[in-house]
Amino acid sequence: MSHEVIAEATVELPALSVSALEFSYGRHPVLKKVSVQVPGGRFVALIGANGAGKTTFFSIVTGLYAAHQGSISVMGHDLRSNTLQALASMGVVFQRSTLDMDLTINQNLHYSAALHGIERREAKRRIAEGLQQHGLSDLGARKVASLSGGQRRRVELARALLHKPSLLLLDEPTVGLDLQSRANFIAHVRSLCSEQGTGVLWATHLMDEVESGDMVFIMDHGDIIAAGELDALLQNHGVDDITELFNSLITKPE
């Protein structure tokens, strides 16, 4: 008697799935049916000018604001009904630093580990590992106030990754960094996608932070006006680079 073995296809959950998100300040709509997906292990760029709605979008996805309409799930956990699981699956680097400047790097990281319920011995191991990974091994005892902008950003990244999230959200993370620090920081974040399978959503208004092969969502006045692989978008719109694409889409005819 023969037995037929049927293999079920495994459907990989996206790191982040946002569908038809709406939000208003009073009567002023800020986000208009915004849908964004971040697959695991991919670098996804959310591009928009200042005031396009990127920071509001991040505030909703991280649970700081509540959406008026739409759904958000992180690794399959619905943000509204499974809030703790969804938040535990994400790490965040906000536009403005949220480090305590009067504490050392180690103190900042141990405090964050405690908030995530990481046992102290395990926290010490992860912190040492994170400092080494981010080129900060010799700086743990230094106060954050004494660090350069690039070093502070790397501390924030180490903190965001302490609890091993599947999704990393970064809102304009290179603002204020010099060119070399910015390049190093971007390269390091990209390595997390390829080496650790982290899904990254990188919000920026700087076009040179986007590379061939990236997934791109372009936001303008709270709308997603273009979405897809960068190379395909350039070809479909008949333009040579991301700056030309962006300008052609957001420029309104007079």
What are the structure tokens assigned to 188, written together? 């390091």
Residue 173 belongs to a domain: yes
If asked whether residues 240 and 141 sit together in one domain, one would say no
- Identify the bridge partners of residue 92 per DSSP, sorted by sequence position: 169
The secondary structure element, H or E, covering residue 86 is helix 83-88
If asked whether residues 109 and 227 sit together in one domain, one would say no
pLDDT for the residue 11? 52
Per-position pLDDT tens, the chain of length 254: 444 444 444 457 899 999 999 999 988 999 999 999 999 999 999 999 988 999 999 999 999 999 999 999 999 999 999 999 999 999 999 888 899 999 999 999 999 999 999 999 999 999 999 999 888 999 999 999 999 988 999 999 999 999 999 999 999 998 888 888 888 889 989 999 999 999 999 999 999 999 999 999 999 999 999 999 999 999 999 999 999 999 999 865 44
Q: At what angle do helices 149-160 and 179-196 cross, to 10 degrees?
A: 20
pLDDT for the residue 6? 42
Q: Which domain holds residue 43?
A: 8-89+165-254
- Contact at 8 Å (CB) between 38 and 45? no
Residue 3 belongs to a domain: no
Total domain count for the chain? 2
What are the structure tokens assigned to 34, written together? 């915004």
- Contact at 8 Å (CB) between 42 and 193? yes
Beta-strand pair 43-47/199-204: parallel
If asked whether residues 129 and 25 sit together in one domain, one would say no
pLDDT for the residue 75? 96
If asked whether residues 125 and 185 sit together in one domain, one would say no
If asked whether residues 171 and 152 sit together in one domain, one would say no
pLDDT for the residue 108? 97
Q: What is the dihedral of CA 162, 167, 172, 176, to 10 degrees?
A: 20
**Residue finishing a domain among 164, 187, 215:** 164
Residue 215 belongs to a domain: yes
pLDDT for the residue 182? 87
**Residue finishing a domain among 164, 180, 206:** 164
If asked whether residues 215 and 237 sit together in one domain, one would say yes
Say what the pTM is.
0.89
Q: Which has the closest alpha carbon to 137: 125, 147, 129?
A: 129
Q: CA 136, 142, 148, 149 torsion: positive or negative? A: positive
Within a 10 A sphere around the Cβ of 233, how many other Cβ atoms?
18
**Dist. CA 245–CA 52, nearest whole Å:** 16
- Contact at 8 Å (CB) between 184 and 174? no
**Dist. CA 138–CA 208, nearest whole Å:** 31
pLDDT for the residue 85? 95
**Dist. CA 164–CA 194, nearest whole Å:** 15
**Residue finishing a domain among 135, 164, 193:** 164
**Dist. CA 74–CA 15, nearest whole Å:** 6
If asked whether residues 109 and 139 sit together in one domain, one would say yes
pLDDT for the residue 126? 96
If asked whether residues 139 and 175 sit together in one domain, one would say no
- CB under 8 Å to 38, separation ≥6 — which residues? 14, 15, 16, 17, 44, 167, 199, 200, 201, 215
If asked whether residues 105 and 199 sit together in one domain, one would say no
Phi, psi of 175 (to 5 degrees): -60, 130
3-state SS, residue 141 = coil
Residue 2 belongs to a domain: no
